[in-house]
Structure 1
Amino acid sequence: MAMTLQFLGATEEVTGSCHLLSVNQQQLLLDCGLIQGGKTDIARNRAPFEFEPSEIFCVVLSHAHIDHSGRLPALVQQGFDGPIYTHQATAELCEILLRDAAMLQQRDTERVNKRRDKQQLPPLEPLFTEADVEQVLSHFIPLEYDQLVPVMPGVDIMLHDAGHILGSALVELFLNDGEQQKKLVFSGDLGRAGMPILRDPTMIDSANLVLMESTYGERLHRSWDDTLAELKTLFAETIQSSRGNILIPAFSVGRAQELLYLFHLYAKQWQLAGWTIVLDSPMAIEATRIYVRNYPLMDADFQRLTQLHPGEHPLLSHARFIRDTAESISLNEISHGLIIIAGSGMCNGGRIRCHLQHNLARENSDVIICGFQALGTPGRLLVDGAEELTISGQSIPVRARIHTVGGLSAHADQAELLRWYQHFDGAPPLVLVHGEPTAQQVLLAKLAEQSPTTRAVIATHADTLDLTALPALRWC
């Protein structure tokens, strides 16, 4: 009998989360995410899966973000026919995220095919379609936190709140091959303690192996108090200098709702009475409705606020919601006084690109980057100081002020990752995933300094770990 774990995505990179667990010759997939970044990265999504989709018994999905869920439609399209276990809020969010992803696949493929036609190349098919998404949705098995569920012969799981976005889960997997019992803990994307709206990440006591993300393994975020002070100063400077519009690229799930909450709490303190705040993202609007419906999953402060002022919901009180495309386009006729929250969070799609196209060249505009920017994305180029950005074939000079507010991140920083791992008894073996190499190497060095007995490695693509050999960490 054998138990193995193979790392097939988010290895020495942040997107494309995917890990293959085999127990008793049955296969379980942990996440099935889309690879994001530049054109070369995105093209890798068209490569065949490194396993036979029809042989996967089930999928366990940590959360709804596309870099964890976005290849599920392709998985089903290519033969997967099993259950997808995830938190019930994640299932709700996936319905809107995956449908949007299918629409983008269709649109982007049409654009690529116009170029291919001119080059007399055969057309491409979208990676997946809305029909594929409908098939995926029928496979979801919604779960609650702290519920022990058998998902495959020899494998039980329990989800716990990861504190990253609504419904995000860290996963305990209890494995039994008939001869040995092992416990694997997968962090998914780990959130942060003390952040608004969501509960703190769950601490786990024991494991034979920990699989942990490392997105911000090389840095410390600003404290929450310092982040609020930074935002207050930023808005004050903008107001005092009578500057133009403020653009905030935001992930539709998680970051957009956090910003709405902050504007509810601090609009008066930040002197935003003369500004119009708009949420210009149909998907973020739908996600906000799901957040509102799932308020029992929120932290105590948020729940108390909703109960004290039931007619003024903290996510619905201060922003104008814009669904209509024509209304979104009309915003570009306004040169000042707007705070525009729009997707996508990495500026590689969505309505934010149109707003950047009309505002980046204005010296009186500001862009607030408040989330992780993968290598190769337009958002990363802005953070790294690009002097121009190409949008819809047009080269736009970057004259607007670019601000990076790291304290809003929904990912744990180095100290928070270490604190979460060090809560485990006995320093179990650790595998780092979901991080760029520099961040992982720095985190590994810090871990060696603080916990010298820890056996830790960085997963590289297609590594296969023999779980029956734990805790020796023997690679196949």
Structure 2
Amino acid sequence: MKITFHGAAQTVTGSKHVLELANGKKILLDCGMFQGHGKQTGEWNLHFGFQPSEIDFLVLSHAHIDHSGLIPRLVAEGFTGDIICTPATRELCKIMLQDAAKIQESDAKFINKKRLKLNKTLVEPLYTMEDALLALSFFKRVKYNQPYTLTEGVELLFTDAGHILGSAAVHLDITENNKTTKITFSGDVGRYNDLLLKSPAAFRQADYVILESTYGDSLHDMAMPTEGRLLEVIQDTCIQRKGKVIIPAFSVGRTQEILYALNGLELKGVLPKVKYYVDSPLSEKATLVVKAHPWNFNNKVQEVLKQDDDPFDFEGLSFIEDTEASIALNEDQTPMVIISASGMAEAGRVKHHIKNNIENPNCTILLVGYSESGSLAGRLKSGVNPVSIFGEYYQVNAKVTSIQTMSAHGDQNDLIRFIENQDKNLTKKIFLVHGEPDTQEIFKQKLHEKGFQNVEIPYRHQSFEL
């Protein structure tokens, strides 16, 4: 048996790992899109590093685009197998992949309008809405803790990863030549004190663990709870400086956490009386999906539900759907909070909101999650000034700040807690994925200190015999 790491290898996005069995069957773990890597991003997304038509099964850990976003292209290039995921992941992918296809088609149309005038070769979208709809027909749903036979000799089990709604750690028991090899792929590991979701579940002993390492070198700052930090930023910006708070937020997970925290402030009677907007049709749809799965919430949220039947709604909140209403927010100079996708500010409406407010010293850009260093959010976080947006440079006069506690990824302590139920003498190897190289080296040393001696940091397209 062989495993090859085609994405999220010494980088954070583009999760794709191929298991090739002795009988020739190939299992793809995730099929994510690369994001925030500058000019390399497009090239990496065009070439998988393997032949899609040769993949027999795709096992999907969760719906985030850096894990699912290239599924329609996989199908367009010949994949016809089953796509196995949890029911909630299927529901989220239904809206997210169609949204991504719409963006791909729109971006290609915009680029080709310019290229046509310059008599240049036209570009094709990564995939189309037709590809996305076809891909959705291949999805099969498997619940947490429900054993599933993927193919002869391969047993699959999902356990709750606690990262976003429906996120799963993937456990494969593969029997070849009367010997069973146990493989665990963590997907993205959530927090053990998440605002909304249950903690990551314990799992059976594995021979090999493919472990994410996004925050393997750091601890999330818990000095001030999320509610308190949000209140501080809104009071400073909207009440004191009469400006706008712009929050780039992932449509799935992060947006709902922000709404829950703002609702908590209202329940306490301290939410500032300003306008609040979620300016993302995808975020609105994702919030409806999250609301439909209350059994995934942790005990704290269950207690809130006893006094508030909708913990994601509060006075002053509006959802923006059409483009004209989104544009109108830029003309409205009254204090407001705008929550909009994408989380890395690489695309979508939030990029326009940042462009229109970045030179205003009364405004604040609030970053609430992981940002690739090359993305707009990453450049703002690192202090780049001026910053390029849509090919033009803007002075960063707005205040740029962040809430580190809102990450849906576990920090170093969470990752150690996730892996420590494994017998160090029985774990043959840990592969670190979904992390930057410097971070992974630090985390590798931490794992060594905890007794896990055989730790690999694969590079893109590197293969290992298991």
TM-score by length of 1: 0.93
Q: 5+ residue gaps in structure 2?
A: none
> Would you say the 8 A contact 1:274–1:337 is kept in 2?
no
Q: 1:137 to 1:302 in 2, by over 3 A?
A: same
Q: Which residue in the other structure is 2:322 paired with?
A: 324
Q: Which residue in the other structure is 1:436 paired with?
A: 436
Q: Which residue in the other structure is 1:474 paired with?
A: none
Aligned ranges 1:32-431 → 2 under 5 Å: 32-223=31-222, 225-238=224-237, 241-267=240-266, 269=268, 271-310=270-309, 313-318=310-315, 319-426=317-424, 428=427, 429-431=429-431
Any idea what SS the aligned residue of 1:267 has?
helix
Q: Matches of 2:74 and 2:151 in 1, distance apart?
A: 18
Q: Count residues in correspondence.
A: 462
Segment of structure 1 superposing worse, 174-183 or 127-136:
174-183
> Would you say the 8 A contact 2:33–2:45 is kept in 1?
no
> Would you say the 8 A contact 2:235–2:272 is kept in 1?
no
Q: Matches of 1:26 and 1:282 in 2, distance apart?
A: 39
> Would you say the 8 A contact 1:189–1:213 is kept in 2?
yes
Q: Which residue in the other structure is 1:9 paired with?
A: 7
Paired letter, 2:94? E
Paired letter, 2:311? P
Q: 1:425 to 1:200 in 2, by over 3 A?
A: same
Q: Matches of 2:274 and 2:438 in 1, distance apart?
A: 40
Q: Matches of 1:320 and 1:4 in 2, distance apart?
A: 50
Q: Which residue in the other structure is 1:446 paired with?
A: 446
Paired letter, 2:370? F
Any idea what SS the aligned residue of 2:155 has?
strand
The CA deviation string for residues 96-115 of structure 1, in whole angstroms up to 9 with x for no partner, is: 11111111111211222234
TM-score by length of 2: 0.95
Q: Matches of 1:46 and 1:251 in 2, distance apart?
A: 20
The alpha-carbon deviation at position 209 of structure 1 amounts to: 0.7
Q: Matches of 1:225 and 1:161 in 2, distance apart?
A: 27
Q: RMSD in angstroms over aligned alpha carbons?
A: 1.7
Paired letter, 2:233? L
> Would you say the 8 A contact 1:252–1:283 is kept in 2?
yes
Q: Matches of 2:213 and 2:43 in 1, distance apart?
A: 22
Paired letter, 1:340? I
Q: 1:153 to 1:44 in 2, by over 3 A?
A: farther
Q: 1:437 to 1:392 in 2, by over 3 A?
A: same
Q: 5+ residue gaps in structure 1?
A: 468-476
The alpha-carbon deviation at position 240 of structure 1 amounts to: 5.3
> Would you say the 8 A contact 2:368–2:407 is kept in 1?
yes
> Would you say the 8 A contact 1:26–1:153 is kept in 2?
no
Q: Matches of 1:121 and 1:176 in 2, distance apart?
A: 53
> Would you say the 8 A contact 2:234–2:272 is kept in 1?
no
Q: Which residue in the other structure is 1:461 paired with?
A: 460
Segment of structure 1 superposing worse, 89-98 or 293-302:
293-302
Any idea what SS the aligned residue of 2:56 has?
strand
Q: Matches of 2:147 and 2:239 in 1, distance apart?
A: 55
The CA deviation string for residues 103-129 of structure 1, in whole angstroms up to 9 with x for no partner, is: 111121122223433443321111100
Q: Matches of 1:159 and 1:294 in 2, distance apart?
A: 17
Q: Matches of 1:293 and 1:64 in 2, distance apart?
A: 16
The alpha-carbon deviation at position 389 of structure 1 amounts to: 2.6
Segment of structure 1 superposing worse, 276-285 or 290-299:
290-299
Percent of pairs with identical residues = 37
Q: Matches of 2:126 and 2:114 in 1, distance apart?
A: 17
The CA deviation string for residues 43-73 of structure 1, in whole angstroms up to 9 with x for no partner, is: 1245333222122111000000111001110
Q: Matches of 2:224 and 2:147 in 1, distance apart?
A: 37
The alpha-carbon deviation at position 393 of structure 1 amounts to: 3.5
Paired letter, 2:432? L
Q: Matches of 2:215 and 2:414 in 1, distance apart?
A: 10
> Would you say the 8 A contact 1:192–1:412 is kept in 2?
yes
Paired letter, 2:30? D
Q: Which residue in the other structure is 1:18 paired with?
A: 16
Any idea what SS the aligned residue of 1:308 has?
coil
The CA deviation string for residues 12-57 of structure 1, in whole angstroms up to 9 with x for no partner, is: 0000000001122100100011111143232124533322212211
Segment of structure 1 superposing worse, 73-82 or 456-465:
456-465
Segment of structure 1 superposing worse, 150-159 or 59-68:
150-159
Segment of structure 1 superposing worse, 222-231 or 353-362:
222-231
Q: Matches of 1:360 and 1:165 in 2, distance apart?
A: 30
